[in-house]
Amino acid sequence: MPAPAPREALSSALLRHISVQLGVPPASLAATIGLLDDGGAVPFIARYRKEVTGNLDEVQIRSIQEKLEYFRELEDRRRTVLDSIGEQGKLTPELRARIASVLEKNELEDLYLPYKPKRRTKASIARDKGLEPLARYLWEQRDTGVPLDRFAPTFVSAKKEVASADEALAGARHIVAEWIAERAEFRQAIRRMVAEHGVVASRAIEGVEDPERKYAMYAAYREPAARIPSHRMLAVRRGAKDGFLTFEIELDPAPPVAWLKSRVMRVRGAWTPHLEQAVEDSYERLLNPSIQTEVRQELKDRSDGEAIRVFRENLEDLLMAPPAGMLGVLAVDPGIRTGCKLAVVDDTGKFLESAVIYPLAPRNDLAGAVKTMAGLIARHQVRAIAIGNGTGSREVSALVRDFLRQAALLHVFSVVVSESGASVYSASDIARQEFPDLDVTIRGAISIARRLQDPLAELVKIDPKSIGVGQYQHDVDQRKLKQGLEATVESSVNRVGVDLNTASFALLRYVAGIKERTAEKIVEYRNEHGRFHARREALAVAGFGPKTFEQAAGFLRIRGGEDPLDMTAVHPESYPVVERMAQSLGVNVPELIARPELLDSLRLEAFRTETVGDYTLADIREELRRPGRDPREKFTAPEWRDDVKEIGDLKPGMILEGVVTNVTNFGAFVDVGVHHDGLVHVSELAERFVRDPHEVVKAGQIVRVQVMSADAKTRRIGLSMKALAAAKRSPAAAPQYGTI
């Protein structure tokens, strides 16, 4: 891997600012920036460089990474601004110092605005007519010995197209208005007023019908800009984008105009009424529209950030969902007209056989379906049936349970699995490479089976945006969304660890330090040479150099390899420390792993080195106590009610078990098996006040809910968890399968 390009160091002032903003000690901040600039992946730094960073976690390190990007962009822009003003010959020492001291991008743009090349304006036209001295006369507000009523007529000129003193004064006011609008401190004050006291006001566009009434709530809506939550701001923006709404940020002009007048006007005189007009014109024509645009953008950025945060938390919950484990699975992708597609995978996820059954109307071939499923289960040692949650899933789920009960297949359990994004996977390049000869529908069924075995390993093959756990995901900044989601996938993959001998290219590419091309080379090497027997063998892969090995090795697992430490999260650079631990106890490393109780007698401080400190030693001890542990929870299958298949089957007061599919700022959506998710509003999540729904629920969680309302026409289902807060969740009937 080529060495990363050297990055320019941030100034000490910026480093102090970031340190205070993030609450990170300066030494830890500087060390972390050094590791990031050296090409260090965040999971690697967080896990294996704790002594260097002062035990910063992933969240803190990613925050440093984001701030680093922001301030380096600020520094690049600062240089551009200084160069531009310098070329104009207007860069004074005072201005240079002000530009050098700003810490926010919008403050930098405020300072640059008076010097920024601009289109022709009323003020520039007035300057071309020679009216700037008259504007200066108004602005300076001092008696020059020449009264205004005598000074203004001197600017009348047929050649310059100034027909009268009034016209000259009007032009001078335009220049003053522009000075006011471009003054940095004025812009910052007005921006603060609009942000703190403005009101987001949306209205329906007259004459435009909203047949689905998607934006009925916002047809005449008002909410303070400082408090409007992300989902409502994004809904208003989407309504405007779709052409149903218009919105602005309203602010009573009297306070900002009065504030501006108090700053502009110092001495009363003949110039006073002209300055008053200039202030009013500046606010109405220049400042307010400009600041409106900026604050709207700030609100969007804030809403985007919150929406992306929610999306990332939901995605992480799905990726870290409990795996059923490596067991033979029969997947059923429900279909009515085209039949239900079946696919069987073995306990390694390898595809074995497919079939199509037609148990639903119009064919109703239940006998044929039962015969086909029984044959597949018998031939391939199936232990679980995964049913996609699309149309017909409840009917299929019911008949599968009946079949298993009547056939006395007590060792086989069935569970409904989210198929969100499965169709995207089935038509993707990754699916075509895996199964070039299979129909897309069979590929989708295989994905459903593998999602039950290991959700993380399968979901990484799909663009995170296609998994469907975000709110307004197409309306937010797509670059920031992509970065955030990829960081979440990277974090999840490295937290669990990856089996070097079975992991797909899609999984390997998210391991710290491994790029897509290197991931491809690993799979090619494995296909050609067979399984890896030790972590160090990865160095034989083309492009897998020492730097990549340093970053990736701790997250790669070798099960049944030459060195038992290769199946743990202990980094190879720490193997000598473990060997010293074992020697001090009079055992070898395999025996130490087999008898973790021996670790209790160790004094960790005795094993410190220049690079291995207390944080790393504590991690090593915990890892040796549970080598290769999976951080995900144990798998539990939800219970479904056989008498609930459609919205019409739901009755107020009915108690159901369901799966949380999405968590938003306003509540959680729950699949209760009727093809449309119900909403548990944030006020119905718990008996206490809930600020953030993620405090109570997470995507993929099994919950008990009570039906409050169900409208088949609007497809809206109201659910409550608060009503059942005191009740304990009943244990699932399906067997419990541990993590792998």
- State the DSSP string of 75-133: HHHHHHHHHHHHHTT---HHHHHHHHH--SHHHHHHHHGGGS-----HHHHHHHTT-HH
Give the residue among 540, 543, 571 at the shortest CA–CA distance from 557.
Answer: 571
If you average pLDDT over residues 309-326, what whole number do you get?
A: 90
Query: Can you give the pLDDT at residue 2?
Result: 47
Q: Which residue has better confidence, 91 or 635?
A: 91
Q: How is the beta sheet containing 220-224 ordered, strand by strand?
A: 220-224, 199-204, 245-250
Using only C-alpha atoms, what is the Rg of the chain? Answer: 33
Please name the residues in contact with 395: beta carbons below 8 A apart, sequence gap of 6 or more: 334, 359, 360, 645
Give the residue among 357, 329, 363 at the shortest CA–CA distance from 341.
Answer: 357
- Contact between residue 175 and residue 131 where contact means Cβ atoms under 8 Å apart: yes
Query: Can you give the pLDDT at residue 661?
Result: 80
If you average pLDDT over residues 608-636, what whole number do you get?
A: 92
- Contact between residue 481 and residue 308 where contact means Cβ atoms under 8 Å apart: yes
Give the residue among 653, 655, 673 at the shortest CA–CA distance from 730.
Answer: 655
Per DSSP bridges, beta strands 667-671 and 655-664 are antiparallel
Continuous segment of H or E residues that includes residue 224? strand 220-224
Residue 6's pLDDT band (cuts 50, 70, 90): low
User: What mean pLDDT value characterizes the chain?
Assistant: 91
Query: Can you give the pLDDT at residue 712?
Result: 86
Lowest mean pLDDT among 7-16, 57-66, 467-476: 467-476
- Contact between residue 719 and residue 676 where contact means Cβ atoms under 8 Å apart: no
Furthest C-alpha separation in the chain = 109
User: In the numeric block, which tokens belong to residue 73?
Assistant: 């962009």
Q: Is the dihedral of CA 353, 359, 361, 365 positive or negative?
A: positive
Please report how the helices 58-87 and 26-37 are oriented relative to each other, as an axis angle in degrees rounded to 10: 80
- Contact between residue 732 and residue 636 where contact means Cβ atoms under 8 Å apart: yes
- Contact between residue 61 and residue 42 where contact means Cβ atoms under 8 Å apart: yes
What is the spatial distance between Cα 634 and Cα 649, in angstroms, rounded to a whole number?
31
What is the spatial distance between Cα 658 and Cα 641, in angstroms, rounded to a whole number?
10
CB atoms under 10 Å from CB of 448, counted, come to: 28
Query: Can you give the pLDDT at residue 398?
Result: 83
Give the residue among 204, 223, 226 at the shortest CA–CA distance from 213.
Answer: 204
- Contact between residue 334 and residue 393 where contact means Cβ atoms under 8 Å apart: yes
CB atoms under 10 Å from CB of 156, counted, come to: 14
**DSSP string over 686-717:** -SS--S-GGGT--TT-EEEEEEEEEETTTTEE
**pLDDT of 84 over the 50 cut:** yes
What is the spatial distance between Cα 528 and Cα 166, in angstroms, rounded to a whole number?
88
**pLDDT of 512 over the 70 cut:** yes
User: In the numeric block, which tokens belong to residue 539?
Assistant: 């160095």
Query: Can you give the pLDDT at residue 299?
Result: 96
What is the spatial distance between Cα 731 and Cα 722, in angstroms, rounded to a whole number?
19
Query: Can you give the pLDDT at residue 713?
Result: 85
Please name the residues in contact with 164: beta carbons below 8 A apart, sequence gap of 6 or more: 156
Lowest mean pLDDT among 98-107, 523-532, 665-674: 665-674
If you average pLDDT over residues 223-245, what whole number do you get?
A: 95
**pLDDT of 191 over the 80 cut:** yes
Residue 471's pLDDT band (cuts 50, 70, 90): low
What string of H, E and C letters represents the secondary structure of 521-575? HHHHHHHHHCCCCCHHHHHHCCCCCHHHHHHHHHHEECCCCCCHHHHCCCCHHHH
**pLDDT of 732 over the 80 cut:** no
**Do 12-115 and 122-310 agree at the fold level?**
no
pLDDT tens-place string over residues 650-694: 999 999 988 888 888 889 988 887 767 899 999 999 988 998 898
If you average pLDDT over residues 51-72, what whole number do you get?
A: 96
Beta strands (DSSP E) in 375-530 are 384-388, 413-417, 498-499
Query: Can you give the pLDDT at residue 276?
Result: 97
What is the spatial distance between Cα 716 and Cα 212, in angstroms, rounded to a whole number?
13
User: In the numeric block, which tokens belong to residue 425?
Assistant: 């996977």
CA atoms within 13 A on the CB side of 445: 28
* CA distance between the termini of the chain: 32
pTM for the model? 0.84
Phi and psi based region of residue 40 (left: phi greater than 0; alpha: psi -120 to 50; beta: remaining): beta
**pLDDT of 729 over the 60 cut:** no
Q: Is the dihedral of CA 563, 565, 568, 570 positive or negative?
A: negative
- Cα 37 versus chain centre, distance: 23
Residue 469's pLDDT band (cuts 50, 70, 90): low
User: In the numeric block, which tokens belong to residue 657?
Assistant: 């078990």
Q: Give the start-to-end residue ranges of the domains of the chain.
A: 12-115, 122-310, 647-724
Q: Which residue has better confidence, 115 or 671?
A: 115
Query: Can you give the pLDDT at residue 416?
Result: 84
What is the spatial distance between Cα 554 and Cα 511, in angstroms, rounded to a whole number?
10
Class of domain 12-115: mainly alpha
Percent of the chain with pLDDT strictly greater than 90: 76
Residue 4's pLDDT band (cuts 50, 70, 90): very low
**DSSP string over 340-351:** EEEEEE-TT--E
Query: Can you give the pLDDT at residue 677?
Result: 85
Give the residue among 694, 712, 690 at the shortest CA–CA distance from 469.
Answer: 694
If you average pLDDT over residues 615-620, what whole number do you get?
A: 96
Residues, the chain, total?
A: 740
Query: Can you give the pLDDT at residue 735?
Result: 31
Q: Which residue has better confidence, 336 or 39?
A: 39
Class of domain 122-310: mainly alpha
Query: Can you give the pLDDT at residue 701?
Result: 85
What is the spatial distance between Cα 613 and Cα 51, in angstroms, rounded to a whole number?
6
Q: Which fold has domain 647-724?
A: OB fold (Dihydrolipoamide Acetyltransferase, E2P) (2.40.50)
Query: Can you give the pLDDT at residue 395?
Result: 85
